[in-house]
Structure 1
């Protein structure tokens, strides 16, 4: 077929523009363009230059050919494989999004990033010829720069241009002259922007699996070899050796010439996982995450597509690695909410992984010490295959976990951050030259600032939230819009000087610990201290090298890390996530507390964990103390069934945002009226509308409607209906509507 016209989806993610546009194909581009090519096109009355994705070609059109606009250029380095096109269609239908949004998620954010080219110099003479020339030039001072170049070439006959200029201390003009005289030649080499230094890692070998690991590997390996599209749930207690199972399973994948994707929940875990995998598998390991530069991301994507990388490690975006043959997909810490995208399309990496695995006929391995309730339910019902690791990988001393009732501490007059037990435990651990992790899932110094005389709370001018006080710069900061103002000394409401910061954050804990344990070296790991590409690695490397005694952190320190010298973990406020407006609150509390206490006693020394709580009798706290997932699950599943939450019901949140609060409230009630035609006989339950938990952010008011249904299909039909309602509204008032199917967070 002659590629006369191309059928293109444009890169503007607006529902009304989510359709095929036809463009002419210049003759010069016809040989190179194909389905999946990414092109630059003029769009609209003003011919704005935008990106487009080719979905097909045709030879004839049913409108005036004189009105056809033409493709301007092709992004030669980037294209979409047929599998990823199918994946985009799946995401469009599954998450009720636009094709543009789905396609944009699959690709590097900037397709015009080019390969990094580097000039090299190669000698055209052998060593004898170089020595002869050096002798000829020896006493001729004018040729001294050339002689220095020849000296370098004797040792390095093939060398980067910059390097030879530095070592020989010559200008580029000298090199160019020697090229003209056929002494040297220039080469243009493609330089790879690798996000890690291979030479910085040692090598490791497989460890002998214990009986449980061997049994797990037998099942997974069999599935890989037989190309079975199974989903395994690997439920292993902390320290049971799940990562070793991952690596030995991947070794089988590489033996049959296939690739593997390893997803981790957050960037903080990337350095550790990369270290372990590079030490085992070397340069075939790739990395993909948002802290990489555009060039590094592009090179990782390109190397994966070319087959030069075989393993891709990273957070949820790693699932889109363009491997041709995938043999295994792994989700480590599969329970983590970060696998669900907060930005449209609001996909879940687990669902995308299962879809890709179905295409490649390979298994998916979900690993966790605290599986998501829905995942464990599917495993018990036979939809997933359950594998359990109940024993530690090595014969270590059992972890001692205890809870401290902070109500009793108050009765004793102790109002400090630390209970008596935790204070004494820290003191004893420091004396033994062992290390400590203190966990608090809230950054900043204090949670809010208020006047003790009139009760006025200082709030962000643009958001319905209190400012957080940051002591290091003596400023009040909004954690939603990032606006900051100097710390207030006088109450804006009553004029009194009784203004004080209340609550607790990681900064305040750090200051307190440094004050009472002045001899200890302290590190803090939270959002504020890990900016930059290597922010996490720098702190973790320091702590692993024992350059600090105490590591204070948010959930970044809670999982995946393996520090042999950590023998004490303190959970400072276990209740912090327990009573938030979220039906998953108990589950998240159990997961966090279980994960962070599991960081203690990972080496050959006995570990201890102390959980400070105001509700020691809550089943999530008690189960975490006993590291008893099954007890937690049995309690939680009863609550979910009684209240009609996942896994028994599907849910959809509809977040509606506008700068006009009055209009927003009226709109929400109109939407509910139009949805009321789906009565309870169809298994639909509508909750709300009501103000969102954060009812105002960046001067935008936020209201939310929740919808429960018996089937996912019913929700997608409703979602499409909601978008149609939104299209009919007056867009001068409404900002936008966000629909999230089976949300992992509350709004």
Structure 2
């Protein structure tokens, strides 16, 4: 390495914006052949040694005192030039430090601090005459000689196994690795290895005309090797997965790799089976339910080119593919693609940026696309719309009935189950069918609804449902509007106005009382806490061991359960009246997705939706399987209120152990941002401050501000300047978290 590259440009692993820049470090002579752009190193910083990321080489300013790199964590690059550019874009787009972006991108690598902690296998790096020469040169190092001889005779041992076999320590193995006489390679995790006859090879299905047309468009873009985005709008059961699999095969034929994302871990086992049946050992799996070692092994297989197909949840979008050619996001509308803590990135945005940098193709698939995506596809925007309007084999969509719970109450039924749903469940069980009972209980507090007329109390300014708190007050968590819980309904004068809510455990308890002979299983975050429990429940249900599956949104999407002929939605209003401007969209999506679980086998399906708001357009459109009708209605509301896609939002979340401190911090920030907005004369509205809906978590109080504007750049500039000023104020002790285009306000 020449004199001009004797200094490395290093991003140091610090989250402070004040240190988010390149620092120069001298490269010691022993490391000059081991450090490249993308290497992870250890560097002195103040009185500490920190991890650093080498992002280039250059001459430092003459007046700066230069320290030396202290060590090399990874000699080879842990990130590609594309991922380096992505990290810089993330820092700019999500207002985080570049080091924070690297930490998110390299998470599977950083969970295993060095390769010696990972379950990797060791192989000789030399063969033939070169190996003989190396063995002869190690005559004076008997321990190293023994290790190299054992590695040559028994390749593929772990480091600890190799050290034990040679009757020495792992340090001796590390010494040979450093000399380049041994090499390590990640092994496919045991949970993915095939037992004899274990893997069922699946062949391609026959495509219908719509699938063929969609695949033709995607394949043509892959052949051209250019950045393109397709929105695959296919109704439930229309065969989107088969289009994904064919598109992946087309990407592999071009010599590039493919990344496919699913929104829920519960969907991963089913998709793994499909993907492995088509692509075998080329499939790597990345999701948070794996151990750190398992994720690292899969990450290494992708990085080293041993796995050309990546399947996983949100974080798999960062898979270190050498030449990514295709990114698929199944159920692209799902809010789970948004990271909801720390650095709040959106996997869809990351996939789009990676594809743009790599000249790759993005396929966004959904039966209920997000309004933002659909508007970009139908308004002459950057997305190309592909439609799958028919189910595979011309199977009909399920018949949907809307049950008015107000009428049930008037006629004396105040139970969880309406009479039509009880009748339908009885018939389903008598015929030997299977049923799903769905209740979305993501909520943390309840809405206030009149059970006589269906009125929901909303904020007069934000058109967002007011949230009931235990002290009996109603609060808007956007603008902090307060109201008192009325004794009578302001709409009809009824005394049946109450905060409302029931959970899955209550539904299960009632179902067991009413249907004592039915085999019932519940699937929610409580019942699936153990590793592998998702798949055990689904396998048992698919095998006919249960009659009724009760669950939350984890059972609402993507699952193919051919025996299900009846779906019952216990209360559609739980999602509809959440304090979120996306509540109607979420409701339509959930109802459409859960309805799509019915009638996927040979028998027709039926869906019953229980609601106090049967006239709401999100529910009537879902019952009619009418996405475009819902889109028109919801876009009219968004346009009037100035919500996305007609604007951009950002949320600043303030947290502190002292409630008064966090309130004062939020109010001070509001004053600062108001001043910055007026000084720039830009069209940014600041709502709040107000307590966050989850106003206290783990002993920390939470307040928030919401910024709304037409241009995302304006919002980011205001926040960036405001945060810089707050960081300089030593009296400001409140933690601030930035969420650009939040998917929820909780």
**TM-score of the pair, normalised by structure 1:** 0.81
Between the aligned partners of 2:157 and 2:649, the Cα distance in structure 1 is 60
The structural deviation recorded for 1:173 is 11
Checking the alignment, whether the CA contact within 8 Å between 2:662 and 2:734 is kept in structure 1 is: no
**What's the secondary structure of 1:734's corresponding residue?**
coil
Extract unaligned runs of 5+ from structure 2: 124-152, 168-181, 448-467, 472-498
Alignment of 1:442-457 (within 5 A): 442=441
Q: Is 1:198 paired with 2:194? A: yes
Decide whether aligned partners of structure 1 residues 70 and 446 sit closer, same or farther in structure 2, where only a CA change above 3 A counts. closer
Question: How far off its partner does 1:628 sit?
Answer: 0.7
What is residue 126 of structure 2 aligned with on the other side? Answer: none
Contact 1:312 1:318 in 2 (8 A): yes
Cα shift readout 1:388-435 (whole Å, capped 9, x = no counterpart): 111111122441110111111112221221111111111111111111
Residue 38 (structure 1) aligns with: 40
Structure 1 residues 502 and 598, CA gap change in structure 2 (3 angstroms): closer
Question: Where does residue 541 of structure 1 map in the other structure?
Answer: 539
CA 1:197–1:429: 2 relative to 1, 3 Å: farther
Q: Return closer, same or farther for 1:41/1:187 CA change in 2, 3 Å cut-off.
A: closer
The range that moved more, 238-247 or 338-347, is: 338-347
2:16 aligned to which of 8, 14, 17: 14
Q: CA deviation at 1:64?
A: 6.4
Alignment of 1:468-479 (within 5 A): none
Q: 1:726, 1:737 within 8 Å by CA — same for their partners in 2?
A: no
Cα distance in structure 2, aligned partners of 1:364 and 1:625: 30
Residues in 1 aligned to 2:186 and 2:624: alpha-carbon distance in whole angstroms:
55
SS in 1 for 2:695: strand
Tell me if the contact between 2:263 and 2:314 (Cα under 8 Å) persists in the aligned partners: yes
SS in 1 for 2:82: helix
Residue aligning to 1:243 = 241
- 1:318 maps to 2:316: yes
Distance of aligned partners of 1:465 and 1:13 in 2 relative to their CA distance in 1, 3 Å threshold: farther
1:336-485 matched pairs, under 5 angstroms:
336-383=334-381, 384-442=383-441
Aligned-pair CA distance for 1:195:
4.0
| Corresponding residue for residue 574 of structure 1 | 572
Shift in alpha-carbon separation, 1:588–1:398, aligned structure 2, 3 A:
closer
Aligned residue in 2 for 1:508:
506
Q: Tell me the distance in 1 between the aligned counterparts of 2:644 and 2:636.
A: 11
Equivalent-residue separation in structure 2 for 1:675 and 1:253 (angstroms): 47
What residue number does 2:95 align with? Answer: 96
Asked if the contact 2:186–2:297 (Cα under 8 Å) also holds between the matched residues in 1, the reply is no
The superposition leaves residues 426-485 of structure 1 with CA deviations (integer Å, 9 ceiling, x where unpaired) of: 11111111111111112799989xxxxxxxxxxxxxxx9879xxxxxxxxxxxxxxxxxx
Contact 2:566–2:605 (CA under 8 A) maintained in structure 1: yes
CA distance in 2, matches of 1:582, 1:671: 23
The CA deviation at 1:68 is 2.1
Structure 2 distance, partners of 1:532, 1:642, is 46
Q: Provide the C-alpha distance between the structure 1 equivalents of 2:640 and 2:500, rounded to a whole number of angstroms.
A: 37
Deviates more, 1:695-704 or 1:56-65: 56-65
Q: Which residue of 1 aligns with 2:30?
A: 28
For 2:141, the equivalent position in structure 1 comes to: none
Match of 1:651 among 649, 652, 671: 649
Once the 2 structures are TM-superposed, how far is the Cα of residue 212 of structure 1 from its aligned partner? Answer: 0.8
Q: In the alignment, what sits opposite 2:515? A: 517
In structure 1, runs of 5+ residues without a counterpart are: 121-156, 166-170, 175-185, 449-463, 468-500
Does the C-alpha gap of structure 1 residues 366 and 391 become closer, same or farther in structure 2, counting only changes over 3 Å? same
Query: 1:340–1:348: 8 Å Cα contact kept in structure 2?
Result: yes
Q: Distance in 2 between matches of 1:579 and 1:188?
A: 54
- Counterpart position of 1:488: none
Aligned length: 642
Residues 444 and 686 of structure 1: CA distance in aligned 2, closer, same or farther (over 3 Å): closer
The residue correspondences of 1:220-299 to structure 2 (distance < 5 A) are 220-299=218-297
Q: Is the 8 A contact 1:447 1:505 kept in 2?
A: no
Deviations 1:194-226 (A, max 9, x none): 542434331111111111111111111111111
Greater alpha carbon shift after TM alignment, 352-361 vs 189-198: 189-198
Partner of 1:138: none
- The whole-number CA distance in structure 2 between the counterparts of 1:35 and 1:741 is 30
Q: CA deviation at 1:691?
A: 1.9
Aligned to 2:175: none
| Residue equivalent to 1:601 | 599
Q: In 2, distance between residues paired with 1:97 and 1:356?
A: 18
Aligned residues of 1:440 and 1:506 also touching (Cα < 8 A):
yes
Pick the aligned partner of 1:585 from 583, 600, 605.
583
C-alpha spacing 1:402/1:226, structure 2 compared with 1 (3 Å): same
Q: Is the 8 A contact 2:42 2:69 kept in 1?
A: no
Provide TM-score, normalisation by structure 2: 0.81
Report the Cα offset of residue 24 of structure 1.
Answer: 3.2
Partners of 2:643 and 2:554 in 1: how far apart? 28
Task: Determine helix, strand or coil for the equivalent of 1:394.
Answer: helix
Aligned-pair CA distance for 1:119? 8.8
- Asked whether the equivalents of residues 34 and 76 of structure 2 are also in contact (C-alpha less than 8 Å), the reply is no
The 8 Å contact of residues 42 and 72 in structure 1, kept in 2 or not, is answered as no
Map Cα deviations across residues 516-567 of structure 1 (whole Å, 9 max, x no partner): 2121111111111212331211111111111111111110000000011110
Equivalent residue for 1:116, pick from 116, 119, 123: 119
- Contact kept, 8 Å, 1:443 with 1:506, in 2: the verdict is no
2:729 aligned residue:
729
What corresponds to 1:130 in structure 2?
Answer: none
Query: What is the distance in 1 between the residues matched to 2:155 and 2:530?
Result: 31
Question: 1:443 touches 1:505 (CA, 8 Å); kept in 2?
Answer: no
| More deviation, 677-686/431-440 | 677-686
1:697 aligns to what?
A: 697
Query: CA separation in 1, counterparts of 2:445 and 2:511?
Result: 15
**Pair 223,18 (structure 1): closer, same or farther in 2 beyond 3 Å:** same
Moved more, 69-78 or 12-21: 69-78
Q: Structure 1 residues 682, 408: closer, same or farther in 2, change over 3 A? A: same
